[in-house]
């Protein structure tokens, strides 16, 4: 047993006996607006669209860590800064569930740990059983491109890979069915485990981590063909967009620094590669969900689908993650569970809320170390609103954002700030910190921000 396991209790009599299992599916680097069910006009994600229609789609879900490792350490412990506290798997094992990991749940280097088939910074005590999914990644034979360098080749030599500076701009399309890819293998292993669990009839927690659309964007060529460049529109960025963004709010991964600003067509190719791997990932989700239903487990299993954080693909001329833009902090979140009606919620929710929500569904005590709040009341009534804002952090605590339905406020360690009216300026082009018309709004948000930061210490 974990050395500091004290609990507070929350349960709903309506759920007793209905939900026995938890299925957590985590995509990697998936921005919410890359999915059709979140409004992307060209994305082909039929399986997640189906899950959204059958479950609850959260329009305003936010990560806490804006890069992989801190985000996963956070939501797997239900804490804003996760360290050594009790995890989902430890708690569920203590309460009779069999806990299994397939693929990346805690941090793994992609592509490094995927190529090597290693554990990354896994938490072994979280799992009864675990499986890593390996793959060749950028070394997959096929049509390789390093798009910021404008390199296109079939050669395997000299490709950008682990720890190399341009690896985030790599795509590979190739002839094949995708069965060699880590996400296909993860879905196959998950189906194998679900089949076993159905036979054993014991409660389980299955956490499946899919690595796409994390770079390198590798997928069979047929998925790339779904996204002809003629259908892709690049993000519109106003002139002087950076003029009112503080120095610490500017992304080091930007178009000028990496040279991709020289190749607008390659920026479209980046979008095509990203969306191709989103569609491939979606197909693997569909395989898992179909197996769950065919095995009759869907009537006693709660399904959580999300991502560790979002991603930038040229918005503000920024790329990747690790900053406080809406494209990074906002994540997809879909929850489907027996006994709950489908719908959509506009409430602010956080990834730290998932652990206590799963506990509530299983009628388990929630560990006292958990800082998130169960969103079970919102699942029961999607018109309900959370009373807390969402907090997100850049690495090394250099900056924090606070997101309410109306505002996005950002504060950096040098004292600089950003403020955006998210109803009028959802793309965050006009920083209102210096606006004389918003002094009262800024004062109110500063006060609320300070109180929220005290709350999570």
Q: Give the CATH number of the domain where residue 446 resides.
A: 3.40.720.10
Contact partners, residue 93, CB within 8 Å, separation at least 6: 99, 128
For position 414, what pLDDT does the model report?
98
Task: Spell out the alpha helix ranges (H) of 76-213.
Answer: 88-94, 112-116, 182-200
Residue 288: inside a domain: yes
What pLDDT score does 4 carry? 47
- The answer to whether residue 160 sits within a structural domain is no
User: Does 210 map to a domain?
Assistant: yes
Count structural domains, the chain.
Answer: 1
pTM (two decimals): 0.96
53 burial level (CB within 10 Å; 0-12, 13-18, 19+): middle
What per-residue confidence (pLDDT) applies to 397?
Answer: 87
- Calpha distance 249→199 (Å, rounded): 52
Answer yes or no: is 175 within a domain: no
Look at residue 2 in the predicted model and tell me its pLDDT. 58
Q: Are 291 and 191 in contact (CB under 8 A)?
A: yes
* Beta carbons of 187 and 166 less than 8 angstroms apart: no
Q: What does the pLDDT read at residue 1?
A: 54
In a domain, 114, yes or no: yes
Structural domain includes residue 81: yes
SS3 436: helix
The Cα–Cα gap between 262 and 259 comes to 6
- DSSP assignments along 31-50, one per residue: -GGGSGGGT-SS---HHHHH
75 assigned to some structural domain: yes
CA-to-CA separations, 361 to 15, 116, 262, 372, 414, in angstroms, rounded: 7, 37, 51, 15, 42
Low-confidence stretches of the chain (pLDDT beneath 70): 1-17
Residues of the domain holding 306: 7-135+180-249+263-455
pLDDT at site 6: 45
Q: Is residue 213 domain-resident?
A: yes
């Amino acid at each position: 047993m974990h050395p500091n396991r004290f609990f507070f209790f929350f349960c709903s009599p309506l759920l007793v006996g209905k939900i026995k299992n938890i299925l957590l599916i985590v995509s990697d680097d998936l921005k919410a607006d890359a999915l059709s069910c979140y409004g992307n006009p060209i994305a082909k994600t039929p399986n997640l669209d189906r899950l959204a229609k059958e479950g609850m789609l959260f329009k305003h879900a936010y990560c806490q860590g804006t890069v992989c490792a801190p985000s996963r350490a956070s939501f797997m412990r239900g804490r804003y800064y996760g360290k050594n506290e009790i995890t989902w798997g430890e708690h569920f094992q203590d309460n009779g569930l069999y806990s299994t990991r397939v693929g990346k749940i805690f941090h793994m280097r992609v592509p490094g740990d995927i190529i090597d088939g290693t554990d990354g910074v896994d938490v072994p005590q979280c799992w009864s059983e675990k499986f890593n999914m390996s793959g060749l990644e950028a070394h997959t034979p096929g049509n390789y491109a390093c798009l910021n360098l404008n390199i296109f080749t079939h050669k395997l030599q000299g490709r950008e890979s682990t720890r190399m500076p341009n690896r985030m701009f790599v795509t590979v399309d190739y002839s094949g069915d995708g069965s060699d890819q880590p996400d296909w293998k993860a879905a196959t292993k998950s189906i194998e485990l679900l089949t076993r669990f159905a036979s054993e009839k014991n409660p389980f927690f299955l956490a499946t981590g899919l690595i796409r659309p994390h770079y390198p964007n590798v997928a069979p060529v047929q998925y790339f063909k779904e996204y002809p460049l003629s259908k892709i529109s690049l993000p519109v960025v106003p002139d002087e967009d950076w003029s009112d963004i503080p120095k610490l709010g500017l992304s080091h991964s930007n178009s000028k620094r990496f040279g991709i600003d020289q190749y607008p067509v390659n920026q479209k190719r980046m979008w095509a590669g990203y969306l191709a791997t989103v569609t491939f990932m979606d197909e693997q989700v569909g395989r898992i969900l179909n197996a769950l239903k065919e095995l009759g487990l869907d009537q006693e299993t709660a399904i959580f689908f999300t991502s560790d954080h979002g991603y930038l693909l040229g918005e503000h001329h920024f790329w990747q993650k690790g900053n406080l833009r809406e494209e990074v902090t906002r994540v997809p979140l879909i929850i489907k569970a027996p006994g709950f009606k489908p719908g959509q919620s506009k409430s602010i929710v956080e990834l730290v809320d998932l652990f206590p929500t799963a506990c509530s569904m299983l009628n388990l005590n929630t560990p006292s170390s958990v800082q998130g709040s169960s969103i079970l009341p919102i699942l029961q009534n999607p018109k309900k609103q959370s009373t807390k804002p969402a907090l997100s952090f850049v690495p090394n605590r250099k900056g924090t954002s606070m997101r309410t339905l109306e505002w996005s406020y950002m504060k950096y360690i040098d004292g600089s700030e950003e403020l955006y009216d998210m109803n009028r300026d959802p793309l965050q082009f006009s920083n209102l910190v210096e606006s004389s018309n918003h002094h009262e709004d800024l004062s109110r948000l500063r006060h609320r921000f300070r109180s929220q930061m005290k709350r999570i210490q």
